[in-house]
Amino acid sequence: MTTVAELNRLHGLPGRVHFHEEPDGFVFIAITTPLATAQITLQGAQITQWAPLGAQPVIWLSDAATFRPGKSIRGGTPVCWPWFGPHALNSQFPAHGFARTLPWEILTVQEQNDGTIRIELHLPPESMPKDQWPHDTTLHCDITIGTQLDINLITLNRDDHPITVGQALHTYFRIGDIQQVRLTGLEDCPYLDKTLNGQRFSQSGPVHFSQETDRIYLDSRRDILIEDPLLQRRIRIIKSGSASTVVWNPWIEKAAKMGDLGDQGYLTMVCVENANAADDVVQLGPDQAHHLRVRYCIESLA
Ligand code: TA6
């Protein structure tokens, strides 16, 4: 694995992009620009912090998050790939796939003409566990950081046979109070309610939160808005290449059992995940690529 000194020599941008390492070897990328600040972990290509200049953090990270190699991080933008949720056949395989708990590699780091920072990473194919994923596939993640946050997750099937990929950007958003937040953009979408054994319902009106909420919305292709009256902002989620949207808040009991969500963490987070899950998993033929793209931006409610 490339040392942090080497990473800074190859990809560091003085005053903008700096690599640093925590005691147990966890490597972070710190991004500071006139537009925004952010932090990314090499493990999982996970954005653990992002705040446009002068704004409250938009990405939520648990106060009780732990950073241990091979262990998922509670918060940020976990990459769920090449399946979402439990593995369909083998419960021993990790929930949400292996991409979020493996070390990724930097391909390029650039400061672009508009002042944004673009970082391209990939998950080395040779690090993908062949017992879990006996396919020849590449996985890239392009991240552009500015007053907006763009993520493009690119899967390429290099095999001579079709593959089926489930995926999600399992993003945790920072909100003022889950009891006052509502989501719009999911009206009339069918959804599978995982708190009710996956029963199918249709969304009527905005989504409000008053209990554990764990839903896979299907055929959900419109912008999703997180309306946050306490922080007086809305977070707009613009997506393409994603037919599903997963909405999750563990609420009190489940949060207490999780151990890494913090005491009152559930109150200030909501997961709105751009996905291809359940009925919407992606079939890729030989040499076919799929792009799962999101753009997060904030708008004032004042
Ligand atoms: O996306 C919602 C969900 O599938 C929930 O069912 C819950 O398991 C959550 O993901 C967190 O999963 P994790 O494996 O990160 O603890």
**What's the CA gap between 100 and 81, in Å, rounded?**
8
In terms of Cβ atoms closer than 10 Å to its own Cβ (0-12, 13-18, 19+), residue 287 is: exposed
Tell me the catalytic residues.
170, 273
Between the CA of 299 and the centroid of ligand 1 the distance, in Å, is 28
Q: What is the DSSP string of 135-148?
A: S-EEEEEEEEESSS
Which residues have a Cβ under 8 Å from the Cβ of 241 and sit 6 or more positions away?
Answer: 276, 290, 291, 292, 293
Average predicted confidence (pLDDT) for the chain? 97
Instruction: Tell me what percent of the chain is helix, strand and coil, each rounded to the nearest 5.
Output: 10, 45, 45
Residue 99 is predicted with a pLDDT of: 98
Q: Residue 243: its pLDDT value, please?
A: 97
**In this structure, what DSSP letter does residue 182 have?**
E
Give the tens place of pLDDT for each residue, 257-288. Answer: 999 998 899 999 999 999 999 999 999 999 99
Q: pLDDT over 90 for what percent of the chain?
A: 97
Cβ(105)–Cβ(122) below 8 Å? yes
Tokens of 52: 């446009």
**Ligand 1 mean position, distance from CA 269 (Å):** 13
For 28-69, how does the pLDDT look when each residue is reduced to its tens digit (9 = 90+)? 999 999 999 999 999 999 999 999 999 999 999 999 999 999
Q: Would the pLDDT of 1 be above 80?
A: no
Question: Any residues with Cβ below 6 Å from ligand 1, and which?
Answer: 72, 85, 95-96, 170, 194, 214, 246, 248, 271, 273
Q: Using CA positions, which residue lies closest to atom 8 of ligand 1? A: 85
The predicted structure's pLDDT at residue 81? 98
